Structure 1
Amino acid sequence: MTKISPTPVVLTIAGSDSGGGAGIQADLKTFAALGVHGTSAITTVTAQDTTGVSAVHEIPPETVRLQIDAVVRDMGVMFAKTGMLSSSPIISEVSKAIAEYGLKAVVDPVMVAKSGAPLLRKEAVASLKEQLIPLAHVLTPNVEEASALTKMEISSIEDVLRAGDLLLDMGARHVVIKGGHLPGEPVDTLFSRGSPPVFYMGERIPSKTTHGTGCTFSAAIASYLALGNSVADAVGMAKRFVRNAILYGLEVGKGVGPVNPISNLEVDAEKFRVVASVTDALCLLESSEYAPLLSPECQINLAMSLPLRYALGVESVCGIPGRISNAGGRLKPASSPAFGGSRHVASAILSAMRYDPEMRSAMNIRYSEEMLGVLKELGYSHSSYDRTKEPPEVKASEGASVPWGIQEAIKAHGGIPDVIYHTGDWGKEPMMLIFGRDAVEVATKAIRIARRLSQPLSAGTPSG
């Protein structure tokens, strides 16, 4: 019988953030998102929100120690991370516990909150350097923290390299200096005893949701280590994890919003739902004897986007690579649904979602005047745009035609209709786009249109 590996248990020893953006709240969300069981020893209770910290209450050091003892003795914890340890007595108690239990600790030397509020007493810096850093398996200071610990100014990558060596000399086994506060593109640097530095390149993300980045980063490293990864791999994966947490951060509060550590789970879940909808829609289309009547010369594509908050471009839209063709009187997809599997239909969907985020799916079909009569009989609203009136600057810009056309049709209609069409231009086939909330709704509309198209139009029904 196959033996199931136990779920790794990781301990966070940190402060509580009442705003839920940093501290143990961010740590526990990160642990859950990465598949480890999170436990906690609370060192301080803060009253804070997105605008700042208004109060700090320290938990008695002996109570902090009792929390650690309870968890480690019962659950066999091997990996831990530390965050806000505001006083020398708390640092001393935590350091003793790490040493006695042999915990591999990721030490985030939290000194100042995102709002600028101090989270570490000045007299406790010496305790941090003398007692805790020598026990650190991985130390994760930002530039300001590294500067405070080394007492040197850090304004360049050369300064980072010198500071990293000094921090290793303090006893940490590995050091990651986060370079987000330096000018230029952010570069995180990993220092390890006996090895050359490793550089992790990044990108600046324009965002007001960065509260909790440091906590999330260190918690992710601890999680990836507990899952069996090397330090170098854990740091790289944690950096990518934090990037997504910032990218899909939560715009709550009046100040700096929190990162979203569970965004990876949310995006994966939404991707599953989108693929399921597109797959079900394909089954409907393939089983319809009438659907091939809709196929244009350029073939059909059916696509559906992730929800607007996760839709960053055409790669966030699931379509059919190679499109859907009429093969022997039935529609057949060239391949399975895939994100990035459509460009033109995906672009139309993303343009429409700017007006109505719920309209996340579309499918292109052939245009005909007879089709307009069918739409009217079925009660489907429609709007159009004239490609011959496309501005020169739009024509000259790659990929700008579809968004321009969709915008024109929506403005003319006063909202998103069931169908948007154009009658073509030089070298451009006339086309219709069916819109809906999901792919199944779009496919259902398409089959209704195709079935009615197969029958003679009612007497007196105009074809245009």
Structure 2
Amino acid sequence: MLPLHSHLYVLARRIDPKPSSRRSHILAEYAGGKVKVLSNRFPIGRITPKALTIAGVDSGGGAGIAADLKTFAALGVHGMCAVTSVTAQNTQTVNAIHDLPATMVKAQIEAVIEDIGVDAAKTGMLHTPEIIEAVADEIGKYGFPTVVDPVMVAKSGATLLEPAAVETIKNKLLPLAKVVTPNIPEAEVLSDLKIKSLREAADAAMKISRYGPAAVVIKGGHLQDDVSVDLLYMDGELRKFEADRVNTDTTHGTGCSFSAAITAELAKGKDIPEAVESAKRLITDAVRFGLKIGGGHGPVNPMASIYRDAERFWVIENISEAIERLEADPDFPTLIPESQTNLAMALTFARGFEDIAAIPGRIVNLGGKAHASAPPRFGASRHVAATLLTARKHNPSVRAAMNIKFSEEILKICEKLGLSTSFYDRAREPPEIKLVEGRSTSWGTEEAIKAAGKVPDIIYHRGDWGKEPMATILAGTAVEAAKIALNLAAEYAKAISKKS
């Protein structure tokens, strides 16, 4: 018999009728006179967080279980799934829905729990009252922390929840939820309130909380503001999570990935505010770097952040190789301007200067030899990085930029080598741009790209009062930029020798 403590956690050896070579245990919570299983089977020494998604299959891979599993993986959590429905779906429409029997949904959940265990779970598409009741039974039985994403309508506008199922969600599922994550239209249905402002969203969150979830997060994506604000209502308090709004059509699966990110963080032991904050960061990146595929709303990319971090070493290595080539070339110093040269390279999913590596102190002409002042480092450039960030808005395949000396002779060599060029006139730079340090290069790059109708290989300007003429090489990698520079340097050296 358990001791009569008000709250007790118990780690007990699992009694299994089937012999097993693995040592497995049950983690249970004793509270209020009841025992609740928290994690039903996990071998000693295993620390991999495990998250379960109970949702539908999107054949287009943008939302539902596909989005959830990608999000779990991006956050270092092992993902498991219980399929509720199969949809014939793409970025534009849902052509058909096939619901699995409620007994099959329960069987999937049971299979996962009895062998692997669940640290946290989320629900997505639960199309019918019968499926909702089956899922609620399992959550109530095992008590794992659950994030309820009350999916009602697909991004294409197709209905993913039967009208009769709304009351079942309210009365059966919400009381069991640790977090519920409605968007504005869903929150309106759950609260019976119209929402046109953050104040009204807060009122809706408070009303939804009366159904029993520990926390309510109302997503502000449908509110028309420059800033996207999500509201967390928990323990009688409101908290805002803000991010710049990303204007894009790659929003398919936003709600799925957001709720999956919260679930993953809860599985890792984070508290609710920490989990929501992490999810907000992930989904902002996922939307910003969404996949432009299909003819409708492209899917978000929850893997963007992990791809970005995985590239950091390679980018540093690529710049380092480019530096070696430049330093070894006897002709390259003739292209180094008085303000010196920098070479920058961006990560594929670069957000700003912090995701662009360059050379602190730049490349200098040291006694007739090119010399990098320091090893490449992220965040080490502003001017060249600003040019690169601007160019990438028009052509994301441009990953590298390098500034060199400009002269009319160098321009002729560019044309001889078949390099596309475009320029901007610094004398035409608006006064309000000149007043802000670093904005000149962004403005000029936009002007040059506009004039060329594309991102050229070379962007140049002929200087202005107190401003040195300059050219910038744009390329796919730092090594490619270095190769262009070395070809220019070789031809420039020939031209100089002829004149002398």
| TM above 0.5 | yes
Q: Say yes or no: does 1:77 pair with 2:113.
A: no
Provide the residue aligned with 1:122 in structure 2: 163
Q: Relative to structure 1, is the Cα distance of residues 420 and 204 closer, same or farther in structure 2, using a 3 angstrom cutoff? A: closer
Pick from 39, 52, 58 the counterpart of residue 17 of structure 1.
58
Q: Relative to structure 1, is the Cα distance of residues 353 and 103 closer, same or farther in structure 2, using a 3 angstrom cutoff? A: closer
- CA contact under 8 A between 1:384 and 1:409: conserved in structure 2? no
Provide the residue aligned with 1:263 in structure 2: 304
- 2: distance between equivalents of 1:382 and 1:277? 22
Summarize deviations over 1:366-413 as a string: whole Å, max 9, x none: 35678679x58x9644677787x6553557634346764796599689
Q: Relative to structure 1, is the Cα distance of residues 133 and 296 closer, same or farther in structure 2, using a 3 angstrom cutoff? A: same
Q: Relative to structure 1, is the Cα distance of residues 447 and 127 closer, same or farther in structure 2, using a 3 angstrom cutoff? A: same
Q: TM-score, normalised by structure 1?
A: 0.84
Pick from 175, 196, 199 the counterpart of residue 216 of structure 2.
175
Summarize deviations over 1:64-90 as a string: whole Å, max 9, x none: 011111111111212110011111211
Q: Which moved more, 1:356-365 or 1:270-279?
A: 356-365
- 2: distance between equivalents of 1:415 and 1:198? 43
Deviation at 1:251, TM superposition (A): 1.8
Pick from 131, 145, 155 the counterpart of residue 196 of structure 2.
155
- CA contact under 8 A between 2:448 and 2:459: conserved in structure 1? no
Q: Relative to structure 1, is the Cα distance of residues 397 and 89 closer, same or farther in structure 2, using a 3 angstrom cutoff? A: same
Provide the residue aligned with 1:280 in structure 2: 321
Provide the residue aligned with 1:188 in structure 2: 230
Larger relative contact order (Cα-Cα within 8 Å, sequence gap ≥ 6): 1
Pick from 337, 355, 363 the counterpart of residue 324 of structure 1.
363
Q: Relative to structure 1, is the Cα distance of residues 83 and 318 closer, same or farther in structure 2, using a 3 angstrom cutoff? A: same
Whichever residue aligns with residue 114 of structure 1, its letter is K
- 1: distance between equivalents of 2:149 and 2:130? 17
Q: Relative to structure 1, is the Cα distance of residues 53 and 410 closer, same or farther in structure 2, using a 3 angstrom cutoff? A: closer
- 2: distance between equivalents of 1:206 and 1:88? 36
- CA contact under 8 A between 1:395 and 1:401: conserved in structure 2? no
- CA contact under 8 A between 2:308 and 2:350: conserved in structure 1? no
Deviation at 1:166, TM superposition (A): 2.6
| Aligned counterparts, 1:261-410, within 5 A | 261-288=302-329, 291-307=332-348, 310=349, 317-327=356-366, 330-349=369-388, 358-367=397-406, 375=413, 380-381=417-418, 390=426, 392-393=428-429, 397-398=433-434, 399-400=439-440, 404=444
- 1: distance between equivalents of 2:115 and 2:196? 45
Summarize deviations over 1:129-148 as a string: whole Å, max 9, x none: 22211111111112222222
Structure 2: gaps of 5 or more residues: 1-43
| Aligned counterparts, 1:41-52, within 5 A | 41-52=82-93
Q: TM-score, normalised by structure 2?
A: 0.79
- 2: distance between equivalents of 1:462 and 1:100? 88
Q: Relative to structure 1, is the Cα distance of residues 160 and 6 closer, same or farther in structure 2, using a 3 angstrom cutoff? A: same
Deviation at 1:169, TM superposition (A): 2.2
Deviation at 1:154, TM superposition (A): 3.0
Q: Which moved more, 1:134-143 or 1:117-126?
A: 117-126
Structure 1: gaps of 5 or more residues: none
Q: Relative to structure 1, is the Cα distance of residues 337 and 55 closer, same or farther in structure 2, using a 3 angstrom cutoff? A: same
Q: Say yes or no: does 1:244 pair with 2:285.
A: yes
Q: Say yes or no: does 1:137 pair with 2:178.
A: yes
Whichever residue aligns with residue 159 of structure 2, its letter is P
Whichever residue aligns with residue 257 of structure 2, its letter is T
- CA contact under 8 A between 1:278 and 1:303: conserved in structure 2? yes
Provide the residue aligned with 2:258 in structure 1: 217
Q: Relative to structure 1, is the Cα distance of residues 385 and 156 closer, same or farther in structure 2, using a 3 angstrom cutoff? A: closer
Secondary structure of the corresponding residue to residue 308 of structure 2:
helix
- The alignment yields a C-alpha RMSD, in angstroms, of 3.5
- 1: distance between equivalents of 2:157 and 2:198? 24
Q: Relative to structure 1, is the Cα distance of residues 268 and 174 closer, same or farther in structure 2, using a 3 angstrom cutoff? A: same
Summarize deviations over 1:332-375 as a string: whole Å, max 9, x none: 434443444333333444566678765533322335678679x5
Pick from 448, 465, 480 the counterpart of residue 441 of structure 1.
480
Deviation at 1:183, TM superposition (A): 4.4
Aligned residues: 452
Q: Relative to structure 1, is the Cα distance of residues 67 and 367 closer, same or farther in structure 2, using a 3 angstrom cutoff? A: same
Whichever residue aligns with residue 13 of structure 1, its letter is I
Deviation at 1:279, TM superposition (A): 2.1
- CA contact under 8 A between 2:85 and 2:98: conserved in structure 1? yes
Provide the residue aligned with 1:68 in structure 2: 109
Q: Which moved more, 1:109-118 or 1:75-84?
A: 109-118
Deviation at 1:259, TM superposition (A): 1.3
- 2: distance between equivalents of 1:433 and 1:11? 50
Q: Relative to structure 1, is the Cα distance of residues 444 and 46 closer, same or farther in structure 2, using a 3 angstrom cutoff? A: closer
Deviation at 1:96, TM superposition (A): 1.2
- 2: distance between equivalents of 1:171 and 1:390? 62
